[in-house]
Structure formats: structure tokens, C-alpha cells
Structure 1
């Protein structure tokens, strides 16, 4: 089921933007350094002895969820990643997870891409060679909806089970994304009405972490869409 978390009450990141400091997959969880003890203990209670929890930074920032994109197959890191960070992440990931450093271009990949273990949804303006890199490293098909050119990963959350999109998207967009991704997509918000779903939450196939201001009604929608209450 979905859990409410607070990263920290001070610092560079708003305490409710859990998705900015957490990249959660079915095989590993990257979390930014600098959080509170309660934050890390809550994540450890959920994943200890299940998947590795990798405390790190990217380019010296705690915003690991903003800067990287990953799934069970691989992890893409931006060029601002330091050598020490890259080596630490590589050593900590499970065997078989491919890690690739993107040499140039964007850094905030979480704002332009949403992915699960089978499909990536990306902004239509991303370079073609980057689309090939996503396919090679993450092992997924890349869908770039030209009719939805303003798509942003900021307003979408995705797992292998379902997807959540901001309430202002049209019904046509919702239906076509559901068909393309082959998972049900529904409307939702997080952090008391925020449409910024990716910054406000992190989700895999059995749990989700949301900002501490998320309401019970929002958590119920998240539980239903991602089937988090089901075994």
C-alpha cells in the first residue's frame, strides 16, 4: 500500500517531493543522501532483505529521482554523475543491471521520461539516438506520442501494473496512453491536489511512497490504480 514519507524539513528539496529523491524499481531503490533517520528507516523497513537500498547523490545532489531513469534491467545516469558516484552505484546494484552514463544533453531525465520494465513514455522532442539508448540499456520499447507533444514525465507515474496521469489530460490522451502502455491509466494527484505526480511519489509493483501532505483520498486512488493492496 502507499506510504506517506517526509524526506527532511530543510535543505534543497521540499520535504513532500519524494519522487525527486527516490528512484524505485522492482530490483533496487536509489535514495538521495541527506534525509532524516525516519525517512531511511521507513524505506529500510519496506525493502530490507528484499531489494538493495542505495544511498547516493548524483552530481553532488540528493535529487537522484530527477536525474536518473531506470527499471529492473538498467539505469541511465546523466553526465554530471561523478566517477565516485558512478562506481558506488555500480557496486551496489544487483548483478545483471546495466548502467550507462549519458555523455551530454539533458540532466533532468525524470522530467521527460516515465518507464516500467516493458515500456518507456518519452517526450517527442528527445533525440533519436537517446531513444536507442533507452531501448538498449533499459530493454524497453519507447513510445513518443507526437499528438501529446507537451507530455512531461513530471505529470505521470508508471509501474508494470498501472499509470497515473494529471487530471487536466483529456480522455483521449488517457485512453491512448492506456492502449500504448498496455496498463490501465487513471487520473490522480498527490500532495493535496498537486498534478506533479513523479516528483511527489515513487512506485513499484508492490508499494509506493508519497509526500507527507498526500490525502487519504489520494492514497486510495494510488492503491487502486497500482493494485498495492493486492498480494
Structure 2
């Protein structure tokens, strides 16, 4: 039976997987090779081979000219990726311009090697928080600091402090809304927080992250960290935000904001996207139409 919008969960909306005829063919090819060529239990990575890698980076473009068939390179800084077959990249990592925290155990090794190649100038730090790997859900940070939950293990805290660049501050925060990544979203200048966040937590966010803090909701939802992703150039927000609210929030933050979804229609954009000022990662299910919004939202630089 064909999947319809009515049969899907309320936070998922279906969307097309491609933006051109050439990418439609590539999308079909990637699904075919994942199923038939790579198979199950054969020990191969989905990133083995030229075409799967081209699909991840969205950088290969084939076309026809007056001289006939031509293969050209078209680079983008918004990349498809998965961690341990999990497309919720934003929930598993914390990416800033100065460091990249990655949750996970053995399955994170190849992931870290891949992103370190993309980001050679910043440390990629494998860790956990209180034994959990959902890094993006449990901490919040920027170029100035990193806030971690009070329950973090001493060994985890020491490991992060040993790897993270100076003079970034790392502080533990005791907050009843303990999933910090769900209730706080920030860049290097401003932060949005859950309206019911403790006053002491708000002051610590201001002091440690050196940002101006605003209590706000997005599309009538207080989980601002789940429904918004910011860098210093712009942001991606819940697709159901009204035009009036979008303009008001954009004016408040001083940033251009773009409504969108990730991972084939998921409205919880922070679950599927991690971004800084130069690069963005999204789950492998993220469609080309969704990538257009991601690239526009974060104003990522191109490279040739």
C-alpha cells in the first residue's frame, strides 16, 4: 500500500527525494546498491564505491553539452552521513566552529575518520555524557563554551577537557530540564531557551556561552533546541512556523531563518542536522529538496 501523508506520524511529512532528473537516477541507484550490492552482513560500508560517496556529498553532476556527455564536479558543504545506521545526526553530535563532539562506541570510528577528513582544523572528540551517546540532546555549546549535564562522569569530563581547544570554558549545569540540547539552541551571539528554564541556568548560559538569551517558543512548541538549528549566518526552523512568527523571530535573533524538514519530512530539524559556519551534516534520508533549504538556511560557502 502506498504511504500517504495521513498514514505517517504527525511530525513527518513526505517530500520528494531529488531535484533533477540526474539526481532522481542517482537516488534510485543508491537504494538499489544498498539493497542488492551491499546486502546484509557482508562487512561492506555503504560508503564504499564511487557512486555512494558521490551521493553522500552530492557533489557529482552529469550532464549533456554541445560536445556530448560530460561529467562535472559540483561541490556543496551540506553532506549526507549516518552514524551507526542512525540518521538522527543532530541528536548524536555537537558541532561548533571549534570542536565536534561525537557520541557512540565502535560504530563511531569510521564516522570520526570521515568527518575529520571534512574538518581537518578542529578536533573530533569521541565521548559519552553520563554513559549516553546522544550528545546533541544532552549538551549545548559554541565557540566560547560548552555546558554539560551535572550527571556527567568525571572520566568523561576529563577526556573532553583534555581534547577541547583552549580557552573554551566547560561547565556543568544543574537543570531540571536536563536534556539541554532540546531546550537551548545557540550560535556565538544569541541563544533561544525554553520559557520555563531556571533563572540560574539562564545566567550560566549567558556567562559561559557569552550570548544574549531569549525565552521563546517555535511553532507553539517550547522545545526550541529540537525545532531550530543556528549558525552565525542563519538558521533552519520548524516548517510549520507562521510567516509572522518567522519574521519576528528572525528580527529578534538578527538572523535570516528558513523553514524546513530533514530525513524525508521530519519537522524536528535539530534531530537530523548538525551545522557550523562552513559545513552541515544531515541524515542519509534527507532529500535534495530538504538540502536546498539547509544550504540556504546556513549560507554555507561553496568550493570548487
- Fold-level match, TM-score > 0.5? yes
The structure with the largest alpha-carbon Rg is 2
Q: Distance in 2 between matches of 1:58 and 1:155?
A: 22
Contact 1:201 1:209 in 2 (8 A): yes
Can you list the C-alpha shifts for 1:61-81, whole angstroms capped at 9, x where unaligned? 111111000000000000121
CA distance in 2, matches of 1:166, 1:225: 12
Match in the other structure for 1:12: none
Structure 2 unaligned regions, length at least 5: 1-76
1:55 equivalent among 126, 129, 140: 126
- Alpha-carbon offset, residue 222 of structure 1: 0.7
| 1:127 has 2:193 as partner | no
Give the 5 Å matches for 1:82-231: 82-145=153-216, 150-152=221-223, 153-230=225-302
CA contact (8 A) 2:219 2:240 kept: no
Structure 1: tracts of 5 or more residues without a match: 10-14
Q: Is the 8 A contact 2:275 2:281 kept in 1?
A: yes
Preserved CA contact (<8 Å) 1:58 1:85 = yes
Q: TM-score, normalised by structure 2?
A: 0.71
Q: Whole-Å Cα distance in 2 between the matches of residues 20 and 54 of structure 1? A: 15
Check if 1:6 corresponds to 2:82.
Answer: yes
When residues 41 and 168 of structure 1 are mapped into structure 2, their CA distance, relative to the original with a 3 A threshold, is: same
TM-score, structure 1 length as denominator? 0.93
Taking a change above 3 Å as real, the CA distance of residues 5 and 146 of structure 1, as seen in their structure-2 partners, is: closer
For the 8 Å contact 2:103–2:127, the answer to whether it is kept is yes
Please tell me whether the aligned partners of residues 116 and 123 of structure 2 are also in contact (alpha carbons under 8 angstroms).
Answer: no
> Any conservation in 1 of the 2:99–2:165 contact (CA below 8 Å)?
yes
Report if the CA contact (8 A) 1:188-1:195 is conserved: yes
CA shift for structure 1 position 229:
3.5
Contact 2:93 2:134 in 1 (8 A): yes
Contact 2:90 2:274 in 1 (8 A): yes
Q: Residue 165 of structure 1: SS of its match in structure 2?
A: strand
Structure 1 residues 209 and 103, CA, compared in 2 at 3 Å: closer, same or farther?
Answer: same
The one-character-per-residue Cα deviations of 1:41-75 (angstroms, maximum 9, x if unpaired) are: 22111112x01111100011111111000000000
Q: From the superposition, tell whether residues 78 and 156 of structure 1 become closer, same or farther in structure 2 (CA, over 3 Å).
A: same
Contact kept, 8 Å, 1:80 with 1:107, in 2: the verdict is: no
What secondary structure sits across from 1:154 in the alignment?
Answer: coil
**1:84 to partner: Cα distance:** 0.3
Residues 21 and 146 of structure 1: CA distance in aligned 2, closer, same or farther (over 3 Å): closer
Q: Is contact 1:124-1:149 (8 Å) kept?
A: no
In 2, the alpha carbon distance for the partners of 1:116 and 1:30 equals 16
Q: 1:79 to 1:215 in 2, by over 3 A?
A: same
2:87 matched to 1:16? yes
Secondary structure of the structure 2 residue equivalent to 1:77: strand
Cα displacement (A) at 1:103: 3.1
SS of the residue 1:183 aligns to: coil
Structure number with the bigger relative contact order (C-alpha 8 A, sep ≥ 6) is 1
